[in-house]
Structure 1
Amino acid sequence: MSTTETAIASTEAHSAHNYHPLPVVVATADGAWMTDVEGRRYLDMLAGYSALNFGHGNRRLIDAAKAQLERVTLTSRAFHHDRFADFCARLAELCGMEMVLPMNTGAEAVETAVKTARKWGYQVKGVPDGMAKIIVAADNFHGRTTTIVSFSTDHEARADFGPYTPGFEIVPYGDLTALREAMTENTVAVLLEPIQGEAGVLVPPAGYLPGVRELTRERNVLFIADEIQSGLGRTGRTFACEHEGVVPDMYVLGKALGGGVVPVSAVVSSAAVLGIFRPGEHGSTFGGNPLACAVALEVIAMLRTGEYQQRAAELGEHLHQELGLLVGGGAVEAVRGRGLWAGVDIDPGRGTGREISERLMDRRVLVKDTHGSTIRIAPPLVISKEDLDWGLEQLRGVLRG
């Protein structure tokens, strides 16, 4: 067997089959390119679901991590450390908020947002104990913990994991009327992705997010924006909400916040919301650790230049222009997205999303499928226009058969 085949066989034998990865075994990576154990190079057009917005092995981020590794990596929140205050202050400033509650993974941050909204509902809004309701959207993806899959409509993610956590109301994404009708006096929050990633990079109708913002203000309900995939430059703005001039009550962040180096996530909100917590009520051993803060501080500094947002906007316009030319030719049914982020619906007659991804892999381009014949394109924001065009040419080649 080849080195690749040996590695995959070992994985199949000793790893739980909770993923179905493409048959490529990555050994090294740099920028927008990855190299497998056989020495073959692949263009990364997924970027770790936006965790690698700044590319593989970004020198600034690696240097920040190395410097911190020589100093201190973990204290736990039992003590203060010298990177924590700056991290919280700089991230709050980037978000236009006041307080930060750091965690590690995106799912942890979503769980934290849920707990925050419920506690705020009981202590501030006056909802009767145990009666808090949170409204979410159908086809959402916020993670895979037991609470989060309780309000998923994805059968694959949800089935056989009950009993499910109560307290959630599911409404169609993009439907303001349904959202309004679902609200009651016990509603404490609306939790939404400004763009639904796992669902196929679904952009809501124009005016939807401002409508959600207006409605939540009217009803004294928190608007929680899950920007774990859509945030931190991916769409051409720091946050996807900015495209519609919307500022939520709470941002949920992750993925790119760790720069593709360490897992970092956070809930960012006002003092009136996050100020409800008292010592012992919520926490994480690794949340806000020195290494995570050092890397995230460098991510924040890079975002403050606006360089990556502008790059995503300009290259994203080119990406969508080129993808749009494929629609209507019998191969591509629709293209959606913003910035360097696109969902491409392939004609099912040309193959499933998995099959298209495998054919692209054979041409040294890596993407990921979702929901039947849809593929997602989300390259690192550092990708060159030449490499992006080469990747698009490989897609055209696959579609030509």
Structure 2
Amino acid sequence: MAITQIAPSTHPLAAYIHGLEQGGALLSDSPTNVLEVVGILKSYGIVLDAYATNLKYTAEFQYLQFFPFFKYCNGEVTLAKLLRHWWHDRINYEYAEYCARTMIWHGGGGLAAYVEGADFRQHCQRAIAARFRYDPFIQGLHRIFPEFLLEQTRFSAYCSGLGQFWTIMSEMFLSLSDRYDNGEIQTIGQVVDHIRDGLVAAAATPITYQVSWGRQSYPIIPPEAGLTFLADTAIPYVEAIFFRGTPFPGTVSYNAQAYQIPFDQTEFIYGALYADPLPIGGAGIHPTLLMQDMTHYLPSYLEEIYRQSDRKDQDQRVRICESFQKSMFCVTTAAIQGLAPHGLGTSDPQEQKANRLYLEQWLTRFIKSRLETVNR
């Protein structure tokens, strides 16, 4: 790694900037951090695969179903599955839908631009006409309220796009766990390298979406739309879920006169990198669903780490959230490295200056995050 030739940064988080310039990560390297990150990403990878499967199923097979009672069954409706569902012994797919809706609300990227464009509307009109060909009531409703079914289709498009994104991320995290088990992954730097290489390899993977009736298919996001994994799903996902998020209900007032929520969405700091882990487990807190899902798939070595705490299993969801935040700072490091204007190891002073400005802009967003907390 090249030695930086420009003056030291005066940024409040300058130590992290210099660390990134020298090939480091946002999360400090230690055997415990490696174990936590790999272990939680293994659990997360299993849960993501389930989320992705259901999102893609609902987008394709539950398209414009107004009362999708069995959408969480993935096409396999049995009494045993229904009983587990009613007993809440199941994956909480509601969290996946929350992420899709949050991405729609915050927007950003090519997918957001496409679903507001003329091409998308034309494809939607053909699919809607075919879907309700023999339903004059819905046809009339569509003429009176032309945006209603279009908005439902936008949500389906985001479900499909997010499902495709999560499928790739799930495979990436599970292969990381396999490499760790084989002794190939021993440092946080190697974790970041694995994720960065995976993001780069999948960057141009096309994002497409179509629905079918009978033998006829109707494209909603055709290949010609040019949407890809990195630019149109990964980056908007990081922005919407890692950074902005939505306020946890019950923890702040949604009353506009209380001024507890920023008026400008770009100022939101409720994402995974900022969230206080303590509310996790409370009713109405969306990440609680994710943390609960991950409790079922924790590797034994991570469960043992959690049992060593003073509270044993009593604060497991909180500990999972803390480990999850550590892992997300590793994912963010990989994204920062991959999107840098020049290789962070460059020895050219002009390229170093461009990288320095780029890194300072990133780290400014981390000032109020839990970056320093997870590194204590």
TM-score calculated relative to the size of structure 2: 0.26
Higher strand share: 1
Structure showing greater Rg: 2
Q: Which has the higher contact order (CA 8 A, sep 6+)?
A: 2
